[in-house]
């Protein structure tokens, strides 16, 4: 069995940005949803750390910890203030300390595409940041969102000043802030929000400057749809995510929105979608699994926002897929803690099989069946699985049932 990343001493990895991604034995936990700010969140999570660690998660993605105009944290203003609707700086640091004691890395949600201004400047817009740390003027804001900076190097996030990352003073300040989060506050990993808004080369610079142990970007745009629903071929969609990863110098992973989009249609009786024409998985996982962070739902797609939810009746089929497959799987807080003990324990069982059988981000996969009501595959040498209501069993007496549930089963040698 290979070594697990949470057994590795962090000091060995300080100077090696890719070590954790290369090791490939991550299981991430998204430790919040859209409503978490209402529930004394840092304290709530601190109570759950022993269970998070025991279950086998290597990194816990926390909501944005900086002061924000909106309680969820995604309209930041004073980046250096760690008193937020999730709790005080003191409670945050207690949580980070507890995670460290239990050898679970803390992932900071990095919201640097846009920033709410404090005072009016050019054109009467709130595009200055007087009176708080990083007291930038209008030149820090892109010209397309009311500032005196350059045009944006990506898409606009509407209704709020977008940061001009082409300005050297801005990048210097952001890098210093990220280093502070990394070296003083106690975050080890970064999740970059809305990375469509600025060039991937700046993410590369920020990762090189602050040296997180692991980084993932949210590069989310629409899958390819036609008049009848989702296209079978999503190659252009996964290629855009891969181009973004390349733009970061391969230093960041990315959420596999392609797999999410395909999988949530496949479970409705369209499992033929889970094999591409080359016989591989059809998402980013099929092309670059060591950089593909797979997931079922997050605070935007699911939770109370439900912009693009996974069919709730099928989530265990979804987890049976991502937790046995290559890529870097993520489990969502709601499913793990709010959908009942049975779902929690079924997910832990799948995680346990993944670790015991040493499935990792680059494990080989051979897809055996991909038809309307059945998908089956062999992963590595020692695990096979099926999802769907079609009946299927591996041939050979060396296989024994490892776990099963509603419309899924996993076997091991």
Catalytic residues: 193, 218
CA distance 205 to 168: 11
Diameter of the chain by CA atoms? Answer: 75
3-state secondary structure of 211: coil
7, 21, 31: which is closest to 331 by C-alpha? 31
CA distance 131 to 177: 17
Sign of CA dihedral 199, 200, 202, 203: positive
Report in angstroms the alpha-carbon separations of 163 from 79, 123, 351.
13, 17, 39
CA distance 255 to 329: 9
Question: DSSP letter string over 62-92?
Answer: PPP-S-BSSTTS-SBS-TT---BTTB-HHHH
CA distance 168 to 61: 29
CA distance 134 to 411: 54
Q: Is 292 left (phi over 0), alpha (psi -120 to 50) or beta?
A: beta
């Amino acid at each position: 069995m290979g070594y697990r990343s949470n057994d590795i001493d962090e000091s060995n990895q300080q100077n090696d940005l890719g070590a954790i991604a290369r090791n490939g034995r991550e299981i991430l936990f998204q430790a919040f949803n859209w409503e978490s700010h209402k529930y004394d969140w840092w304290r709530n999570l601190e109570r759950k750390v022993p269970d998070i660690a025991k279950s086998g998660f290597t990194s816990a993605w926390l909501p944005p910890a900086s002061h924000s105009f909106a309680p969820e944290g995604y309209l930041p203003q004073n980046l250096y203030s760690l008193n937020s609707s999730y709790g005080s700086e003191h409670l945050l640091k207690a949580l980070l300390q507890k995670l460290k004691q239990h050898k679970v890395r803390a992932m900071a949600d990095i919201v640097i595409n846009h920033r709410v201004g404090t005072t009016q400047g050019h054109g009467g817009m709130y595009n200055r940041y007087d009176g708080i740390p990083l007291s930038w003027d209008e030149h820090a804001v892109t010209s397309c969102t009311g500032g005196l900076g350059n045009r944006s190097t990506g898409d606009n996030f509407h209704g709020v000043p977008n940061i001009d990352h082409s300005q050297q003073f801005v990048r210097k300040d952001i890098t210093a802030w990220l280093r502070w989060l990394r070296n003083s506050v106690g975050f080890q990993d970064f999740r970059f929000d809305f990375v469509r808004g600025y060039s991937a080369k700046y993410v590369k610079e920020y990762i090189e400057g602050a040296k997180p142990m692991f980084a993932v970007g949210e590069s989310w745009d629409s899958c390819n749809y036609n008049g009848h629903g989702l296209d079978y071929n999503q190659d252009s969609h996964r290629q855009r995510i891969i181009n973004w990863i390349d733009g970061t110098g391969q230093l960041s992973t990315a959420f596999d929105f392609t797999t999410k989009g395909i999988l949530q249609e496949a479970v409705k009786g369209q499992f033929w979608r889970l094999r591409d024409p080359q016989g591989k998985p059809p998402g980013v996982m099929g092309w670059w699994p060591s950089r593909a962070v797979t997931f079922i739902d997050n605070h935007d797609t699911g939770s109370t926002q439900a912009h693009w939810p996974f069919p709730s009746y099928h989530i265990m089929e979804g987890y049976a897929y991502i937790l046995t497959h290559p890529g870097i799987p993520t489990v969502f807080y709601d499913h793990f803690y709010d959908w009942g003990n049975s779902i929690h324990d079924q997910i832990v069982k799948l995680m346990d099989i993944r670790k015991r059988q040493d499935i990792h981000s680059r494990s080989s996969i051979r897809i055996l069946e991909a038809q309307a009501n059945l998908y089956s595959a062999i992963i590595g040498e020692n695990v096979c699985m099926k999802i769907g209501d079609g009946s299927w069993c591996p041939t050979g007496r060396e296989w024994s049932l490892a776990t099963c549930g509603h419309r899924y089963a996993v076997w091991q040698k």
